[in-house]
Amino acid sequence: MNKTLRELADLIGGEVSGDSGVCISGAADISDAASGDIVFAETPRLLAEARKSQATAIIVHKNADISEKPVIRVDNPRYAFARTLEIFAPSKIHEPGVHPTCIVGEGTTIGENPSIGSHVYIGRNTTIGNDVVIYPSVYIDDNVSIGDNCTIYPFCTIHDTVEIGNKSIIHSGSVIGSDGFGYIRVGSEQYKIPQIGKVIIGDNVEIGANVTIDRARTGKTEIGRGTKIDNLVHIAHNVTIGENCIIIAQAGIAGSTEIGNNVIMAGQAGVKDHVKVGDNAILCANAGVIGDVAAGEFLSGYPARPHREQMRLYAAQTKLPGLLRLVRDLERRVKELEDKPE
């Protein structure tokens, strides 16, 4: 799909400087761009690299200083480039209809324009919305609700009484609504606590591959609208996550924790049970959160502390070998003085 630079600028809401008639045939990173590609540069360093690249044109900030190549000037180059990728991305064609090997239980309704692949199981009294794409080998239990324009990739398992909002995406291998991890020790054995709650997933949520979201013991486990969850994340029973959060790979959230809106949890961050994390908080990679986090805090380390404080502690730790050598030297000198005859 070829576009002139002017056509592309109109689609992404930018202004052209230079030859607006050049042909753009694709989008690429600066390092592997070829003639016909457009790239984006949001820093001076990237802009310098883009100037030297084979790219035909560059998406830049409105006030960028460049005349060597045609450019599209925008307020947010990264966002404009994302929209450009959408334009040049090949359209995926989904087979319309319900495959004959699909099993659909009694009382289940399927909306308009479905694309449901082979060997999908859909239980009883489940509702599937309009324009839903369900890839082969997906298991959907009884009393599930899936909204419009959702995409569910192969080998997902969605247990009973799960509710999924509109325009949500669930990637391969994820399990939504499995039992929460709840036991009581009785004598020498662990007695399993029934998990009878549900999982509610809001609109426009994306859940990565091999994510596990447990059903609540009672009540609900809830993922707020617009939240994005990376691969290999575990969310325990009765957790609530607010809107527009980012949860990155291998993070874990223990039971009954409350995560506010616009929270970022970096890779392998972990949050203890019954903790509250305020809006706009940031938890760095490997952070171990064992207490409540105020809105807007930026934490790192284990146990998690304010990031600047943690950096000072790390800096102090690097001085420990020298301090140990100094202490040993002082101990030796003191001993020599004590052993010296009067």
- Binned at pLDDT 50, 70 and 90, residue 58 comes out as very high
Active-site annotation holder among 61, 159, 237, 274: 237
Q: Are strands 264-265 and 246-247 parallel, antiparallel or unpaired?
A: parallel
Burial class (CB in 10 A: 0-12, 13-18, 19+), 205: buried
**Is pLDDT of 292 > 80?**
yes
Q: For residues 65 and 56, give the distance between their C-alpha atoms in angstroms, rounded to a whole number.
A: 17
Mean pLDDT of 229-257: 98
User: For residue 304, what pLDDT is reported?
Assistant: 93
User: For residue 337, what pLDDT is reported?
Assistant: 86
Catalytic site includes residue 119? no
Residue 294 tokens read as 């105020």
In which element (H, E) is residue 23 found?
strand 23-24
Q: What is the average pLDDT score of the chain?
A: 95
The residue ranking higher by pLDDT, 314 or 293, is: 293
Mean pLDDT of 252-278: 97
User: For residue 310, what pLDDT is reported?
Assistant: 87
Query: Could you tell me the pTM of the whole model?
Result: 0.89
User: For residue 95, what pLDDT is reported?
Assistant: 87
User: For residue 167, what pLDDT is reported?
Assistant: 98
Q: For residues 281 and 270, give the distance between their C-alpha atoms in angstroms, rounded to a whole number.
A: 14
Local structure of residue 53 (DSSP, 8 states): S
Q: Which of 290, 285, 261, 250 is nearest to 273 (CA)?
A: 290
Handedness of CA 327, 330, 336, 340 (dihedral sign): negative
Q: For residues 208 and 246, give the distance between their C-alpha atoms in angstroms, rounded to a whole number.
A: 11
Say which residue the tokens 């994820």 belong to.
174
Q: For residues 32 and 39, give the distance between their C-alpha atoms in angstroms, rounded to a whole number.
A: 10
Q: What's the pLDDT tens digit per position in 130-185?
A: 999 999 999 999 999 999 999 999 999 999 999 999 999 999 999 999 999 999 99
